[in-house]
Amino acid sequence: MKYIFRFLVIAICVFCTVNILLAQWIQTYGPPGGSVNTILIDSSNIYTGTAENGIYRSTDNGLTWKSINSGITVARINSIAAIGSNLFAGTFGGGVFISTDKGLSWKPKNNGLVDQVVYALAVNGANLFAATDHHGVYRSTDQGANWESARNGITANIVEVLAADGTNIFAGEDGVYHSTDNGVSWNHIGLRNELVRSIKIIGSQLIVGTNGDGIYILKYNGSTWDSTKAGLTNSYVYSIISIGTNLYAGTYKGIYCSIDNGINWNILNSGLMNSNVLTLASNSSIMLAGTSWGVSLSTDNGAHWNSTTLGSPNVVAIAELGNILYAATNSGVNLSTDNGTSWNAINTGLDNSEVRVFATIDTNIFAGTYNGGVYFSTKNIKTWSAVNNGLTNSKIIALAFVGANLFAGTDGGGVFLSSDKGLTWNAAGLSGNYISSFAVLGRYIFAGTRYGGIYRSTNNGINWNSVNIGIPYYQINALGVCGTNVFASASKFDIDNGYTGDVFFTADSGMSWNTTKLGNGFNDAIFVSSDTNIFIAPFHRIILSTNNGTGYKVVSDGLTSTYINALTISNDNLFVGTSGGVWRRPLTEIITSVKEMSPRVPNIFYLQQNFPNPFNPSTAISFSLSSNSLVTLKVFDLMGKEVATLVNSELSAGNHIQHWNAVNISSGVYFYRLQAGSFVETKKLVLLR
């Protein structure tokens, strides 16, 4: 899992300018991945809807994929359905779109569809049904041209699951609803208070997957429906399909198979690139699994899986070694030798795929993993070797070289030092600390900690001294160096104000620190510096600052994946690792001269998806205001009960971040709503303990 305050810091020195008129960000083709919410197999075409990258199509049974988003204005696709040759896409915030040319172009079809957050689509004959965020179920009898409410009898406002079979239509949220008259009326048939995530119709019975309570079977006995618990207790079951007499369940722990109608289940994860399986689909020759990091394919009914090259995943670390790019996701490491045009997985020997950080020296690259320690590889060698002898804490958060010495910062184990390129390790102080980042300036090495501020060592970690004068916050999120200055992103949390913080710099090797005056919105920044200019990425945009942060301007226009995790420079390009893969931009577009500017005011009101999501126990909610507004930001449970008020005040135009610490709140699905004047938007978040 990516943590909101886990950052990579890289320093470069080049002569720079900015030419905003020529600014253009280019998304590279990979690495393979991307969260996949839905899969539709329609004749010789396979369509996938993703969480951040729209729709993809495969015409070769899932071996290769092509983005087909012309006319789609919303990146998050929740459901895809087909009526004849027409395709329909249910989106998060854009309602329903239709394509009449196999996905090559799309148009919105929302007349009468009041709620445009569509979680699911279902087809029953010539009728199309849409499950929505706050208005139950809608029905269209004319290929989506017009919509009408079809929720009579459904007491839940939110409906996330639909299934149809002949005259029977089923809807799921707080249990299961049933309609036999094409959605005119509905009856609740069971599992009240269970959050339903999936429904599979098999004859006269339903296989129902729930949110944390496994699988139930609802069976019609001629007059009523009887429910039976059917295994996978405590599992989150997102998708259920059947192949012959076998049942398959996609869960947050992988794929399970039952050959006895759900009584017993066996896991089928061999080769599965990611175990959080959100959707399943099959045809006569293949089985597809949509996961948090792309699509996996099986040709033997799930016994073995192979990854496909769909979309772009959450890239948490990125590094350059001799013009070769390395990108890390929670599914391992990918390599590009052509400036990001193509990517290939290089995970042989990498027993732990959760890579958090890279460090390079000469022709060698080291990967720090969470729970797997440190791995080593060499340029042009596509295998990894574990180098953990003496490393008693395997949760690696930070890596840095000081000369030939490699330092590793851990989660709760302090600092470790290797003087032989990882062959052996020894403890190097700050025992018990969470080490978030390192910075090296001459003979000094700085260590940022989660709870103790900044420490400095002048003797390779034998002794450490606290150097925090001028920094009022003790959670250090990132460190960086340019020239003779060291920069630090620092913050704190309190119940009343949430997270507050700033970016600081020192010109005297840590003896004293000064604020950059960038303010609270920049407490979680990562840095790339050039001469006296600094690129600062406060996790949802990139700004260029001069004179140690006195003035700044946005340089991330066109970068549509706005959760920024990592930065590096290669072949005169700035590469950015984001929640939507790797992006690049030529330095010649960015670097010419910099003028001091006031913070840019957004031209629209906008509510972003919280991050991280799911979360435990804290998450960040970002939003933009195009004008000064009276703002309320509230959290509600599934029944519409207010759980928390995060904002209730007049706020100035600009970009804002609000943090919610749900430490005393139960696990489950919640909704957060932003109201600013007449603007209202609602999104879903998941607290998962």
Considering the domain architecture, whether residues 105 and 169 belong to the same structural domain is answered as yes
Tell me the pLDDT band of 4, cut-offs 50, 70 and 90.
very low
Q: Residues 177-187: pLDDT tens digits?
A: 999 999 999 99
Q: What is the pLDDT of residues 448-468, one digit of tens each?
A: 998 899 999 999 889 999 998
486 within domain boundaries: yes
What is the average per-residue pLDDT within 587-611? 62
Q: Tell me: do 61 and 161 sit in the same domain.
A: yes
With cut-offs at 50, 70 and 90, classify the pLDDT of residue 60: confident
Strand boundaries in 429-555, DSSP class E: 435-441, 444-449, 454-457, 465-466, 475-482, 485-494, 498-506, 514-515, 526-530, 533-537, 543-546, 551-554
DSSP letter for each residue of 571-616 = TTEEEEEETTEEEEEEHHHH-S-----PPPPPSS-EEPPPBSSSBS
Residue 248 falls inside a structural domain: no
Claim to verify: residue 49 and residue 74 sit in the same structural domain:
yes
Q: Which residue among 206, 222, 238 closes a domain?
A: 238
Q: Is residue 6 part of a domain?
A: no
Q: What is the mean pLDDT of the chain?
A: 83
Both structure tokens of 660? 């919610």
- pLDDT confidence of residue 26: 59
CB 622 within 8 A of CB 656: yes
The pair of structure tokens assigned to 586 is 């030529």
Q: What is the pLDDT of residue 6?
A: 32
pLDDT at 128: 95
Q: Are residues 543 and 627 in the same domain?
A: no
CB atoms < 10 A from the CB of 604, how many?
8
Residue 19: which pLDDT band, with cuts at 50, 70 and 90?
Answer: very low
Rounded CA-CA distance 320/335 in Å is: 10
DSSP character string of 521-568: GGTT-EEEEETTEEEEE-SS--EEEETTTTEEEE--TT-----EEEEE
Helix/strand/coil for 14: coil
Same domain flag for 504 and 637? no
Does pLDDT of 16 surpass 90? no
CA distance 330 to 326: 13
Residue 195 lies in a domain: yes
> What confidence tens digit (pLDDT) does each residue in 563-581 have?
788 888 787 788 888 877 7
Nearest one of 73, 31, 516, 87 to 294, comparing CA atoms: 31
Supply the CATH number for residue 633's domain. Answer: 2.60.40.1930
Confidence of residue 34 (pLDDT cuts 50, 70, 90): low
> What does the pLDDT read at residue 578?
82
State the pLDDT at residue 529.
63
What confidence score (pLDDT) does residue 3 get? Answer: 33
Instruction: Identify whether residues 234 and 318 lie together within a single domain.
Output: no
Whether residue 657 sits in one domain with residue 577? no
CB 510 within 8 A of CB 467: yes
pLDDT-derived band of residue 598, with 50, 70 and 90 as boundaries? very low
pLDDT more than 90, % of the chain: 35
Could you tell me the end-to-end alpha-carbon distance of the chain, in angstroms, rounded to an integer?
13
Query: What tokens does 150 get?
Result: 């079809």
HSE on the CB side for 167, CA within 13 Å?
A: 3
Interior/surface letters 389-424, b for 16+ CB within 10 angstroms, e for the rest: eebebbbbbbbbbbeebbbbbbbebbbbbbeebbee
Q: How many domains does the chain have?
A: 3
Confidence of residue 14 (pLDDT cuts 50, 70, 90): very low
Tell me how many degrees the CA angle 211-216-221 measures, rounded to the nearest 5. Answer: 145
Is residue 214 one of the residues assigned to a domain?
yes
Query: How do the residues of the chain divide into helix, strand and coil, expressed in percent and rounded to 5?
Result: 0, 50, 45
pLDDT at 13: 36
Which of 205, 238, 271 represents a domain boundary (last residue)?
238
| Rounded CA separation 72/17 (Å) | 34
Question: What's the longest Cα–Cα distance across the chain?
Answer: 82
Give the full edge-to-edge strand order of the sheet including 543-546. Answer: 526-530, 533-537, 543-546, 551-554
- Return the SS3 of 453: coil
Which has the minimum average pLDDT: 28-32, 51-55, 277-281? 28-32
Task: Point out which residues pair with 669 in neighbouring strands.
Answer: 686
Q: Is the pLDDT of residue 66 over 50?
A: yes
Please say if the pLDDT value at position 308 is more than 80.
no
Q: What is the DSSP string of 352-363?
A: ---EEEEEEETT
User: In terms of Cα–Cα distance, which of 501, 502, 533, 378 is closest to 18?
Assistant: 533
- Residue 421 near residue 435, CB atoms below 8 Å: no
- Domain residues for 115? 39-238
> With 0-12 CB in 10 A as exposed, 13-18 as middle and 19+ as buried, what is 125?
exposed
Give the model confidence (pLDDT) of 143-177 as tens digits: 999 999 999 999 888 999 999 988 899 999 989 99
Q: Is the pLDDT of residue 611 over 80?
A: no
Neighbours of 13 (CB within 10 A): 10
pLDDT of amino acid 551: 62
Query: What pLDDT is attached to residue 565?
Result: 84
Name residues whose C-beta falls within 8 Å of residue 554's C-beta, 6 or more positions apart in sequence: 541, 542, 543, 600
pTM above 0.75, yes or no: no
Q: Which two tokens stand for residue 662?
A: 């749900």
pLDDT of residue 499: 65
**Mean of pLDDT values over 15-30:** 44
Q: Per the domain annotation, does 395 fall within a domain?
A: yes
**Same domain for 348 and 206:** no
Q: What is the CATH number of the domain that holds 58?
A: 2.130.10.10
The band of 490, judged by pLDDT with boundaries at 50, 70 and 90, is: confident
pLDDT of residue 496: 60
150 in a structural domain: yes
Give per-residue pLDDT as tens, 334-357.
888 888 877 777 888 988 878 999
Written as six digits, the tokens of 256 are 């399970």
**Residue 356 and residue 458 in one domain:** yes
pLDDT of residue 5: 31
**Do 584 and 624 lie in a common domain?**
no
Dihedrals phi, psi of 466, to nearest 5 degrees: -70, 130
Q: pLDDT tens-digit profile of 627-640? A: 888 999 999 988 88
- Same domain for 567 and 483: yes
What counts of helices (H) and strands (E) characterise the chain? Answer: 1, 61
Q: What percent of the chain has pLDDT over 70?
A: 86
Band of pLDDT at residue 549, cut at 50, 70 and 90: low
Which residue did the predictor score with more confidence, 438 or 555? 438
Give yes or no for residue 7 having a pLDDT over 70. no
Tokens 């007059």 correspond to what residue?
A: 223
Domain boundary among 185, 210, 238: 238
Better-scored residue on pLDDT, 112 or 503: 112
Position 494 scores a pLDDT of: 63
Same domain, 354 and 432: yes
- Does residue 296 lie in a domain region? no
